Amino acid sequence: MNSGEKKISPRMTEKEARAGLDARLPEIETFANQFPGYEIKIEIPEYTSVCPRTGLPDFGKITIIYEPRHLCLELKSLKMYILAYRNLGIFYENAVNRILEDIVRACQPVKATVIGEFNPRGGIKSIITATYPRPKGRKKIS
């Protein structure tokens, strides 16, 4: 561990906690929205990634709910984007928030929610929800 690297827990560094956040992923393409004021819900039941601590595969379902402004997400490119997580070491919490940030960057929606429902591991099931716009007073941790 570098002398300037913050230790999160007795066994985890800041670098380990940020695993996968800076990975290069395929671009999410968009197309012009033709109608105002409606919601799109996309379910991706076969999400996979890799636990950065154990190297074991993680499985889950990602649900994206958004209200498009001027652009809609193109589904084939979204599929390729999600498939890129398959061999990526990333924590659940980071994956859900990264997906949300990349969706917002791609289509600048009125609002968006990403929900990750991950298969139980060791008897514990995790459900992570991230929303845009972020609740007032909550800023990204640097």
Q: How far apart are CA 140 and CA 131, in angstroms?
A: 12
Q: Which of 51, 72, 102, 107 is catalytic?
A: 51
Q: Is residue 51 flagged as an active site residue?
A: yes
Q: pLDDT per residue over 15-46, tens digit each?
A: 888 999 999 999 999 999 999 999 999 999 99
Q: Which of 58, 72, 102, 107 is catalytic?
A: 58
Q: Is residue 107 flagged as an active site residue?
A: no
Which two tokens mark 114?
């990403």
Q: pLDDT per residue over 96-119, tens digit each?
A: 999 999 999 999 999 999 999 999
Architecture (CATH level 2) of domain 41-47+54-134: 2-Layer Sandwich (3.30)
* Residue matched to tokens 């800023």: 139
Q: Where are the domains of the chain?
A: 41-47+54-134
